[in-house]
Amino acid sequence: MSFVKYLRRDSLLQLAGKRSLSRSCMLQTCRTLIIETAPPESVKLNRLSGSDSGIVEVNLDRPVAKNSINKEMLKGLQTTFETIHQDSSARVVMITSLVPGVFCAGADLKERRTMSPSEVHTYVNSLRYMFSFIEALSIPTIAAIEGVALGGGLEMALSCDLRICGENAVFGLPETGLAVIPGAGGTQRLSRLVGRSVSKEFIFTGRKIDAREAAKKGLVNFCVAAGEAHKKAMEVAQQINNKGPMAIKMAKKAIDEGIETNMASGLELEEMCYQKLLNTEDRLEGLAAFAEKRKPRYTGK
């Protein structure tokens, strides 16, 4: 899996700059552009060490614009998550903000005003595919949310497996107030998470909801005291990090792919995922650790 597989062919052509290039050449050109572009300071990658080795933080840090996502920040997200995808030691990802009182205010509307319709189309497509890339990572992702998560910021959180917020969090998809709709996955992921009717009311009105209502509607997994979202997210990440990494990956695959099909097909998928774990070293280590009453030492093999 790579971010480039989510890009449409016309976007790849624009990146490559030559419509005569073959598809394989265009894909390689796009991959090179993404990998060789150094992440801007607005996106920081932090690999934890020691007992927390395997936990990776993606820190959003664009205080001048409340972490709103401009083209540069989008490139940083692309590069950062491509790096995580290629890192076999990564077991769980946390998306956090280094800006007090804000998770992400969405797209950078000041930059948006300077774009042509075709440029907006390319940007929104790239944003949508970026969030699809996050969603499709084989390892769990957690959004730790303090303050506002609006528009594309909420859509990014929705692409994560888990969402943990502080009581000061505010959520909203205000796009209809700007005469557009959530275009980076919001209409689809929100509906699958909270249901069709709630999603329609939320998007039609564009209203903001607080942390308590978000928890009540199932938008977030945990609502904790303001300022404690990162701490709680770390606790959950540590719990995941201690489990068999291959089992976590197979569990995510079974849930994500199975829920989109019928029960019989879902059970077949579950059986296939379980079968892949039977001959692993980790499974034998888990049984041995249980028998010996010690903490298992999983290697992901």
Report, as residue numbers or ranges, the catalytic residues. 107, 152, 155, 175
Alpha-helical (H) ranges within 152-227 are 152-158, 186-194, 196-205, 211-216
44: number of Cβ within 10 Å: 16
- Cβ atoms of residues 240 and 248 within 8 Å: yes
- Cβ atoms of residues 143 and 160 within 8 Å: yes
The beta-strand segments (E) located in the chain are 43-47, 55-60, 92-97, 102-104, 141-145, 148-150, 162-166, 170-172, 209-210, 222-224
- Both tokens of 19, joined, read 């419509």
Q: How far is residue 156 from each of residues 60, 207, 270, measured CA to CA in Å?
A: 12, 18, 27
Residue 56 forms beta bridges with which residues?
Answer: 47, 93
- Both tokens of 75, joined, read 């490139």
Sign of the C-alpha dihedral computed for residues 110, 116, 117 and 122 taken in this order: negative
Q: Which residues contact 50 (CB under 8 A, 6 or more apart)?
A: none
Amino acid letter for position 102: V
Buried b (16+ CB within 10 A) or exposed e, 257-296: ebeeeeeeebeebbeebeeebeebebeebbeeeeeeeeeb
